[in-house]
Amino acid sequence: MQWFGRRESDNVEDNRGGGGRFALGGGIVGIVALAIYYFTGIDASQLLNQVATNTQPQTEQRANDPKAPEDKQKNFVRVVLADTEDIWTKLFSDMGKTYEKPHLVLFTDAVRSGCGNASSATGPFYCPADAKVYIDLSFYDELQNRFGAAGDFAQAYVIAHEVGHHVQNLLGISAKMDQARNHLSEKQYNKLSVKLELQADFYAGVWAHYEQSLKKVLDPGDIEEALNAANAIGDDRLQKQAQGRVEPDSFTHGTSAQRMYWFKKGYETGDINQGDTFGNGDLE
């Protein structure tokens, strides 16, 4: 992906380092009042101290500190976020809607979000309550070393997927999910969750389509990098690696094949209307 020297978003909050750290004591609190949307289905149980209240981050914001060290990875994230802003602003405008830009929070180890506290172990996530994407950049090392998904466009896909959840939030899909959650069994809800996650992958693919057709910034092999990442983090594959077997009822994000299929469909069509992963009015 050709990103160097391009426009960077102002909507990245840098909470890394000392300011972003606080102790996550105690056990896991079982109250899950607000949905939170992850990039993968791994280690979601490690979400800690989930609370119903909208806790504002009490950490010191360093985004405006001119002395804060800049780094290449942060520049990259800011460019990718800027690209999602440009493309989704256009696509929403085409629908006669206004795209409200999400913030993206960089953190290390642990973070306090509008959806409760989370540790890096959960991986990147999106919180609809504060409309922010959260990522500890160490996940990119994990993506490469643990999941074998290298490349800058694999990294861009992670952000585009979480921004896809933001799009769902703006379109009212997340609110319907929260309602559905109240009257569904865990097994039924997991099925819906898979559809929601696959749609976020589809939206990431739509974004990739316009990265190429509008901005012309993709390099050869970029789409393969994203598909390789989608393949690497399928629920079936992660479960097989973790426990040697696969339990489809517990899938929350979809299989490797599904995740690749929907990303690819978004990329090939660029048509936001073709992302009805729910089908059959499941959310009505």
Site residues (CB under 5 A) for Zn ion? 37, 197, 200
| Residues linked to residue 37 through DSSP beta bridges, in sequence order | 126
The CA distances from residue 116 to 126, 130, 179, 245, in Å, are 12, 11, 19, 31
CB of 197 to Zn ion, least distance (A): 5
Nearer to Zn ion, 37 or 263 (CB): 37
Q: What is the largest CA-CA distance in the chain?
A: 53
In the complex, least distance from residue 231 CB atom to Zn ion, rounded to whole angstroms: 16
CB neighbour burial string for 132-166, b if at least 16 within 10 angstroms, e if fewer: bbbbbbebbebbbeebebebbbbbbbbbbbbbbbb
Measured from the CB atom, is 62 or 259 closer to Zn ion? 259
Check if the beta carbon of residue 203 is closer than 8 Å to that of residue 266: yes
Is the CB of 37 or the CB of 207 nearer to Zn ion? 37
Rounded Cα distance between 149 and 57, Å, is 31
Angle between helix axes 186-213 and 222-232 (nearest 10 degrees) is: 170
Nearer to Zn ion, 11 or 168 (CB): 168
Residue given tokens 């899909």 in the structure block: 173
- Is 96 exposed, middle or buried (CB count within 10 Å of its CB: 0-12, 13-18, 19+)? exposed
Q: How far is the CB of 38 from Zn ion (least distance, A)?
A: 5
Residue with smaller CB distance to Zn ion, 9 or 40: 40
CA dihedral 13, 17, 19, 25 (to 10 degrees): 110
> Minimum distance from CB of 234 to Zn ion (Å)?
13
Q: Measured at CB, which residue is nearest to Zn ion?
A: 37
Distance from C-alpha of 140 to C-alpha of 124, rounded to nearest angstrom = 10
At what angle are helices 186-213 and 173-183 packed, to 10 degrees? 170
Residue 136 or 197: the one with the smaller Cβ distance to Zn ion is 197
Residue listed under structure tokens 């004591």: 25
Q: How far is the CB of 246 from Zn ion (least distance, A)?
A: 20
CB of 85 to Zn ion, least distance (A): 19
CA distance 43 to 164: 21
Q: Tokens 């840098």: give the residue.
A: 14
Closer to Zn ion at the Cβ: 82 or 200? 200
The residue (of 45 and 64) whose beta carbon lies closer to Zn ion is: 45
Q: Report in angstroms how near the CB of residue 122 gets to Zn ion at its nearest.
A: 11
* Least spacing, CB of residue 68 vs Zn ion, in Å: 29
Cβ atoms of 74 and 106 within 8 Å: the answer is yes
